[in-house]
C-alpha cells in the first residue's frame, strides 16, 4: 500500500473566530499502481487533501502514511519535507503560472537543483523529461513565457516528473485546455500510469473517471461521500445528485429505465453502448 | 484564509460604523493633535492620559472592537520601548538637579526618563487605538472616497486626485486576490523543493525569486486584462463620472463632531489654564 | 441592414504572425451566434477587435451600418457589452453592487436611479442577495454572473461573451449557460455572440461561425456544422455527444435523423423492438 490517509481532519486558522473545517475524518487507502480520481465540487476540500499528501499542509487531526511512514514524522525528522516530496510529486492547478526561469531546461531543473543535484546533471535530466512530455529539442533554450498555455503546462509537469516521484498527484491538470491539449495530457498521464506510477488526479471531468481511473473518491462538504471503483461509482444513486455524470452514462441510464437491458458497468463510450443496444435488439428479434 | 489582521475592517452596525468616513478621518486628526498637546504640569498630564484612555476604551466598546486584539498588537511595542529607554538614558539631561533613580555603568539615570517614556508609550497606544477604531469601522473603499473628498481642492493645481483614488481602490480590491496567489505559488514552488523557511540566505533568495517572478508576471497579466475590462465598460480617466455611493453626512456626524469639538475645546482650555488647574488640584 | 458586418479583418500583435487573417462574417440583430474554434484560432482577439480595444491592421467592422473607427468607437461601444474569461480580472468594484455600478458611473448614469437599476439586474442574474459581498467571498460562477449583470445594466444591443465559462467548474458553467438561455427568452432583441471552444455551448446557438487559424472556415447552423465529422476533425474540435449517438444509432439502422433530443432517441430505440 502506497498511501494511507487515516481519520484526517483539517481546520483552517484553528482557534480563531473564523476557523473553518475543510476536511472531517477522512480515511482513504491508495494502493501502489492505483489510478485514483478525487472528485467533488469546488470548495469540497479535495485540494486541501492532496496538499497534505506531499506535506504542504499537515493534518490537524489524524495521520497520513506514505510507504508506512507518517508524513508528520518524515517532516519532523528532516526538518524539511524533501524526503516526502521525492515520493509524492504534486502538480498544482494551473501549474504554468509557476514557471519563472529564463529557459525551459533551467525551469525543469529547478526542483532537481533544490534537492541537491549538481547543475550539469540536473540539466541533462531536465532535457530527458522535456522530451518525455512530448516537446522536442528546439524547446530546450526557449523562454517558458513564449509558449502556448498547453505547452507551458507540459513544462510544469516535466518539472515535477523530473523529481521522479513514485506517486504523481495532479490537481485539475486539464482545466482551461482545449479538447486537443486535454487529450494529449491525459494520454501522457495514462502512459505514466502504465509505467507503474501511482496516479492521483483531482478533477471535475467525469469522462476521466470513466476512461482512465480504477479507483474514485467523491468528497462532499469535507467528508468522503463515496470510495470505490468507477463502475460502482456510476451506479450509485447518491453520486449523480452531487455531480454531473457523463452524458453516455446518463443516456445509458435512461435507456435502462425504459426497459432496455443495458449493463452500465460495461458502458465506456458510445461504441460500447451501441454494442449493447445491438445485443439487446438481437435478443428481441 | 488569512487570519485576523490587526485593524482589519469588521462589518458591524454600530454608531461608529455608521459615521461618515470623512467625519472619522477629521476626528482622528483632531484627537491625534490633542493627544500630543504638551501639558507643563505633570498631574494634569496624568489626568489627561487617564481621561483619553477611558475615552478610547469607551469608543472601542461602542464600535465592538475586540480589545484583546489591541493588546496583542501592542506586545510588538516591547522592542520599541527598550529602544526608547536606551535613547533616553544616553541623551544628556539639561537639568541635572532631578531625582536620581540609579546609576548604571557610571551613568546617572533619572526618574524622569521613565515618566517621559511612559507618556510616549501611552500616547502611541492612544494613536494606535484611534487608528484601529477608524480602520476596523470603515470599509477601505469608503476611506478612499473620503480621501478623494479631502484631496478635492488639489484638483485646482491639476493634482490627479481621481486617478490616485481609483488606483488606490483597485489596489485595495486586489490585495486578497494577490495574497491568495502568493500563497498558491509559494506552495507550488515548495512542492518543487523550494524552501522559504530553512537553508542559507543564498538558497532562500533563490526560492524568493521563484515566487516573485511568477507573481509579477501574473500581476501584469491581470492588470492588462483589468485595463481591457475597464475600457470595455466605458471607463475614461479624463471623463466625468457619476457616483453610486455618495458620502452623505447624517445627524450622527453632527452629534459626533459637536461632541468632539466640545471635548477638544475643553482640552485647549485646560492647556491654557494649566497652572490654575494644578492649583485647584493641590488645594 | 446587418447588425454586425466584418469584412476581411486582419490583425497581428507587434511583429508576430498574424492571428486574424482575412476574417469576414455577418450577424443579424437578435441572433445568438457562437464563434467556435480551438485555443489559438484567433477568436479571443476577435472579441477585442469588435469592441474596439484593438485596432485592426486591415479590414472593416460595421455595427448597424456604421464603421468602427477611432472617432466612432465610443458611441459604438455604448451599444456593446463584453464579458471576459477571467472572473477575477474583470471584477472592478469592491463589492457586488459597486461592480455593477462601475459601468453606470462611467456613463454618468444619475445617482438617484442607480440603485434600482443595479438591483434589477442583480435580481435577473440571481445575485441580489449577495449585493454587499466582496469578490473573494464569491465563487467563479457567481463572479461571472455579476459581470453579466454589469454588462446588461448598460443596456447593450449586443452582448459578447468571450470564453465566459471556460474557467468555471461544471456547476458554474451550468449556472451561466442557464442564465444565457433565460436571457434569450426574456430579451429576444439582444444579439448575443458567444466566443467559445466548448461544442456543447455552441449546440444551442442559432448560428455557428467556425474559426480556424484566423479565418472563417465555415458558417452554419449547429446541425450543419456538427453533422459534418470531417469539418469537426479538421478544426480540432470534438463532436457533441448527441451527434455522436445519432450517427452511431443511424449506422445500426435506427431512423434517428430527425431526432432533436436524446429522449426522442430513447423512444425510437424502445419502439423498434
Q: Which pLDDT score is estimated for B36?
A: 81
Q: Is residue C1 located within the same domain as residue C71?
A: yes
CB spacing of B184 vs A54 below 8 angstroms: no
Total number of domains in chain A: 2
Residue C249 lies in a domain: no
Q: Is C174 on the interface with A (CB under 8 A)?
A: yes
Does residue B2 have a pLDDT over 50? no
Q: Is residue A268 located within the same domain as residue A182?
A: no
Q: Is residue A148 located within the same domain as residue A194?
A: yes
Q: Is residue A236 located within the same domain as residue A251?
A: no
Q: Which pLDDT score is estimated for C36?
A: 92
Q: Which pLDDT score is estimated for B4?
A: 47
Q: Is residue A108 located within the same domain as residue A184?
A: yes
Q: Is residue A214 located within the same domain as residue A256?
A: no
Does residue B66 have a pLDDT over 80? no
Residue C65 lies in a domain: yes
CB spacing of B225 vs C86 below 8 angstroms: yes
What residues of chain C lie within 8 A of the CB of B243, using their CB?
105, 111
Out of C184, C199, C222, pick the residue that ends a domain: C222
Using CB atoms within 10 Å of the CB of residue A236, give its burial: 0 to 12 exposed, 13 to 18 middle, 19+ buried. Answer: middle
Q: DSSP letter string over A225-282?
A: EEEE-HHHHHH-TTHHHHSPPPHHHHHHHHHHHHT----GGG--SHHHHHHHHHHHHH
C-alpha closest to that of C86 among B222, A267, B272 = B222
Geometric angle at alpha carbon A39, from C237 and A108, rounded to 5°: 70
Q: Is residue A177 located within the same domain as residue A261?
A: no
Q: Is residue C114 located within the same domain as residue C216?
A: no
Q: Which pLDDT score is estimated for B276?
A: 62
CB atoms within 10 A of CB B125: 20
Q: Is residue C67 located within the same domain as residue C116?
A: no
Distance of CA A284 to the CA centre of its chain: 43
Q: Is residue C72 located within the same domain as residue C161?
A: yes
Residue C35 lies in a domain: yes
CATH of the domain at A131: 3.40.50.300
Q: Which pLDDT score is estimated for B1?
A: 34
Q: Is residue A138 located within the same domain as residue A265?
A: no
Q: Is residue A238 located within the same domain as residue A251?
A: no
Q: DSSP letter string over C23-43?
A: EEEEE-TT-EEEEE--TTSSH
Does residue B266 have a pLDDT over 60? yes
The CA distances from residue C83 to A172, A200, C162, C211, in Å, are: 24, 35, 6, 20
Q: What's the CA gap between A52 and A29, in Å, rounded? A: 14
Model confidence pLDDT, tens digit, residues A19-31: 788 999 999 999 9
Q: Is residue C63 located within the same domain as residue C162?
A: yes
Q: What's the CA gap between A277 and C252, in Å, rounded? A: 9
3-state secondary structure of B233: coil
Q: Is residue A39 located within the same domain as residue A164?
A: yes
Using CB atoms within 10 Å of the CB of residue C131, give its burial: 0 to 12 exposed, 13 to 18 middle, 19+ buried. Answer: middle
C-alpha closest to that of C220 among C18, C33, C11 = C33
Q: What average pLDDT does the segment A235-253 reach?
A: 85
* Residues of chain C scoring pLDDT < 70: none
CB atoms within 10 A of CB C59: 17
- Domain of B109 in residue numbering reads as 1-138+250-283
Share of chain B above pLDDT 70, in %: 89
Q: Which pLDDT score is estimated for B172?
A: 86
Residue of C nearest to B141 (CA): C94
The CA distances from residue A116 to A127, A194, B188, in Å, are: 18, 29, 18
Rounded (10°) CA dihedral B224, B227, B231, B236: -140
Q: What's the CA gap between A198 and A193, in Å, rounded? A: 6
Q: Is residue C68 located within the same domain as residue C129?
A: no
CB spacing of B188 vs A95 below 8 angstroms: yes
Q: Is residue C31 located within the same domain as residue C161?
A: yes
Q: Which pLDDT score is estimated for A80?
A: 57
Q: Which pLDDT score is estimated for C150?
A: 96
- Domain of C39 in residue numbering reads as 1-79+156-222
Share of chain A above pLDDT 90, in %: 50
CB spacing of A79 vs B198 below 8 angstroms: yes
Model confidence pLDDT, tens digit, residues B106-152: 677 777 777 777 888 888 888 888 888 888 888 888 888 898 899 88
Q: Which pLDDT score is estimated for B59?
A: 87
Q: What average pLDDT does the segment A215-231 reach?
A: 93
pTM: 0.85
The larger pLDDT score, comparing residue A186 to residue C272, is at A186
Q: Is residue C115 located within the same domain as residue C201?
A: no
Using CB atoms within 10 Å of the CB of residue C214, give its burial: 0 to 12 exposed, 13 to 18 middle, 19+ buried. Answer: buried
CB spacing of C114 vs B170 below 8 angstroms: no
Given a contact cutoff of 8 angstroms between Cβ atoms, the answer to whether C209 and C216 are in contact is yes
Residue B282 lies in a domain: yes
Total number of domains in chain B: 1
Residue C253 lies in a domain: no
Model confidence pLDDT, tens digit, residues A95-108: 888 999 999 999 99
Given a contact cutoff of 8 angstroms between Cβ atoms, the answer to whether A53 and A23 are in contact is no
Geometric angle at alpha carbon C160, from C158 and C163, rounded to 5°: 165
Residue C216 lies in a domain: yes
Q: What's the CA gap between A130 and A108, in Å, rounded? A: 8
Average pLDDT, chain B: 82
Residue of B9, B233, B240, B248 to mutate when probing chain C, most C C-beta within 10 A: B233
ipTM of this model? Answer: 0.89
Parallel, antiparallel or unpaired: strands A3-12 and A20-30: antiparallel
- Domain of A252 in residue numbering reads as 246-285
B236 Cβ contact list (under 8 Å, min separation 6): C106
Q: Is residue A205 located within the same domain as residue A259?
A: no
Q: Is residue C136 located within the same domain as residue C181?
A: no
Q: Which pLDDT score is estimated for C58?
A: 92
The larger pLDDT score, comparing residue B98 to residue B260, is at B260
Does residue B279 have a pLDDT over 60? no
Model confidence pLDDT, tens digit, residues A29-51: 999 999 999 999 888 889 899 99
The larger pLDDT score, comparing residue B65 to residue B243, is at B243
Amino acid at each position: 500500500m502506497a498511501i494511507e490517509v487515516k481519520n484526517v481532519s483539517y481546520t483552517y486558522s484553528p482557534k480563531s473566530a473564523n476557523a473553518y473545517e475543510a476536511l472531517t475524518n477522512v480515511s482513504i487507502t491508495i494502493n501502489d499502481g492505483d489510478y485514483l480520481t478525487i472528485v467533488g465540487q469546488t470548495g469540497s476540500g479535495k485540494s486541501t487533501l492532496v496538499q497534505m499528501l506531499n506535506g504542504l499542509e499537515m493534518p490537524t487531526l489524524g495521520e497520513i502514511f506514505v510507504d508506512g511512514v507518517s508524513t508528520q514524522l518524515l517532516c519532523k525528522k528532516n526538518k524539511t519535507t524533501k524526503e516526502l516530496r521525492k515520493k509524492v510529486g504534486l502538480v498544482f492547478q494551473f501549474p504554468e503560472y509557476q514557471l519563472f526561469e529564463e529557459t525551459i531546461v533551467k525551469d525543469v531543473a529547478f526542483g532537481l537543483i533544490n534537492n541537491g543535484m549538481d547543475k550539469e546533471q540536473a540539466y541533462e535530466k531536465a532535457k530527458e523529461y522535456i522530451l518525455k512530455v512530448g516537446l522536442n529539442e528546439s524547446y530546450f533554450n526557449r523562454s517558458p513565457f513564449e509558449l502556448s498555455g498547453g505547452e507551458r503546462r507540459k513544462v510544469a509537469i516535466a518539472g515535477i516528473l523530473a523529481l521522479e516521484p513514485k506517486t504523481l498527484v495532479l490537481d485539475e491538470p486539464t482545466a482551461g485546455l482545449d479538447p486537443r491539449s486535454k487529450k494529449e495530457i491525459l494520454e501522457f498521464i495514462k502512459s505514466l500510469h502504465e509505467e507503474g506510477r501511482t496516479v492521483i488526479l483531482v478533477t471535475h471531468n467525469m469522462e476521466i473517471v470513466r476512461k482512465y481511473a480504477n479507483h474514485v473518491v467523491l468528497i462532499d462538504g469535507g467528508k468522503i461521500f463515496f470510495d470505490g471503483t468507477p463502475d460502482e461509482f456510476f451506479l450509485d444513486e447518491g453520486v449523480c445528485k452531487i455531480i454531473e455524470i457523463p452524458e453516455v452514462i446518463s443516456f445509458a441510464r435512461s435507456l435502462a429505465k425504459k426497459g432496455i437491458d443495458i449493463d452500465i458497468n460495461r458502458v465506456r463510450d458510445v461504441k460500447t453502448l451501441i454494442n449493447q443496444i445491438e445485443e439487446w435488439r438481437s435478443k428481441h428479434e | 484564509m488569512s487570519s485576523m489582521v490587526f485593524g482589519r475592517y469588521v462589518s458591524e452596525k454600530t454608531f461608529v460604523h455608521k459615521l461618515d468616513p470623512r467625519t472619522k478621518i477629521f476626528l482622528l486628526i483632531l484627537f491625534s493633535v490633542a493627544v500630543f498637546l504638551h501639558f507643563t504640569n505633570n498631574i494634569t498630564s496624568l489626568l489627561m492620559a487617564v481621561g483619553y484612555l477611558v475615552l478610547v476604551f469607551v469608543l472601542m466598546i461602542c464600535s465592538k472592537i475586540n480589545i484583546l486584539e489591541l493588546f496583542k498588537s501592542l506586545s510588538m511595542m516591547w522592542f520599541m520601548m527598550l529602544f526608547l529607554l536606551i535613547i533616553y538614558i544616553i541623551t544628556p539631561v539639561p537639568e541635572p538637579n532631578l531625582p536620581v533613580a540609579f546609576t548604571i555603568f557610571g551613568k546617572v539615570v533619572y526618574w524622569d526618563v521613565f515618566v517621559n517614556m511612559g507618556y510616549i508609550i501611552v500616547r502611541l497606544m492612544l494613536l494606535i487605538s484611534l487608528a484601529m477604531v477608524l480602520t476596523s469601522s470603515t470599509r477601505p473603499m469608503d476611506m478612499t472616497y473620503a480621501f478623494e473628498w479631502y484631496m478635492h481642492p488639489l484638483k485646482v493645481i491639476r493634482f490627479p486626485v481621481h486617478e490616485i483614488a481609483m488606483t488606490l481602490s483597485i489596489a485595495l480590491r486586489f490585495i486578497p486576490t494577490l495574497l491568495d496567489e502568493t500563497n498558491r505559488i509559494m506552495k507550488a514552488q515548495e512542492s518543487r523543493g523550494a524552501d522559504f523557511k530553512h537553508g542559507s540566505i543564498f538558497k532562500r533568495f533563490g526560492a524568493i525569486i521563484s515566487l516573485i517572478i511568477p507573481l509579477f508576471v501574473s500581476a501584469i497579466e491581470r492588470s492588462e486584462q483589468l485595463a481591457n475590462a475597464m475600457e470595455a465598460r466605458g471607463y475614461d480617466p479624463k471623463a466625468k463620472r457619476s457616483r453610486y455611493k455618495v458620502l452623505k453626512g447624517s445627524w450622527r456626524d453632527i452629534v459626533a463632531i459637536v461632541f468632539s469639538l466640545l471635548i477638544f475645546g475643553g482640552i485647549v482650555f485646560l492647556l491654557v489654564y494649566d497652572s490654575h488647574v494644578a492649583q485647584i488640584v493641590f488645594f | 441592414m446587418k447588425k454586425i458586418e466584418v469584412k476581411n479583418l486582419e490583425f497581428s500583435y507587434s511583429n508576430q504572425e498574424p492571428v486574424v487573417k482575412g476574417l469576414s462574417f455577418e450577424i443579424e440583430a437578435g441572433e445568438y451566434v457562437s464563434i467556435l474554434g480551438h485555443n489559438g484560432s484567433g477568436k479571443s482577439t476577435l472579441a477585442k477587435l469588435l469592441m474596439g480595444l484593438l485596432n485592426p491592421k486591415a479590414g472593416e467592422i460595421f455595427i448597424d451600418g456604421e464603421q468602427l473607427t477611432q472617432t466612432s468607437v465610443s458611441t459604438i461601444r455604448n451599444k456593446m457589452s463584453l464579458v471576459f474569461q477571467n472572473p477575477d480580472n474583470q471584477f472592478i468594484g469592491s463589492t457586488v453592487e459597486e461592480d455593477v455600478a462601475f459601468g453606470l458611473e462611467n456613463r454618468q448614469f444619475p445617482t438617484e436611479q442607480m440603485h434600482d437599476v443595479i438591483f434589477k439586474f442583480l435580481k435577473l442574474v440571481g445575485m441580489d442577495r449577495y449585493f454587499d459581498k466582496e469578490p473573494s467571498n464569491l465563487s467563479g460562477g457567481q463572479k461571472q454572473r455579476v459581470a453579466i449583470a454589469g454588462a446588461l445594466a448598460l443596456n447593450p444591443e449586443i452582448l459578447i461573451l468571450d470564453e465566459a465559462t471556460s474557467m468555471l467548474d461544471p456547476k458554474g458553467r451550468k449556472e451561466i449557460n442557464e442564465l444565457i438561455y433565460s436571457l434569450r427568452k426574456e430579451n429576444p432583441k439582444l444579439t448575443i455572440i458567444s466566443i467559445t471552444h466548448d461544442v456543447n455551448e455552441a449546440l444551442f446557438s442559432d448560428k455557428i461561425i467556425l474559426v480556424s487559424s484566423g479565418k472563417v472556415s465555415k458558417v452554419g447552423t449547429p446541425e450543419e456544422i456538427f453533422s459534418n465529422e470531417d469539418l469537426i476533425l479538421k478544426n480540432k474540435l470534438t463532436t457533441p455527444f448527441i451527434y455522436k449517438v445519432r450517427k452511431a444509432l443511424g449506422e445500426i439502422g435506427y431512423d434517428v435523423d430527425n431526432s432533436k433530443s436524446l429522449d426522442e432517441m430513447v423512444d425510437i430505440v424502445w419502439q423498434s423492438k
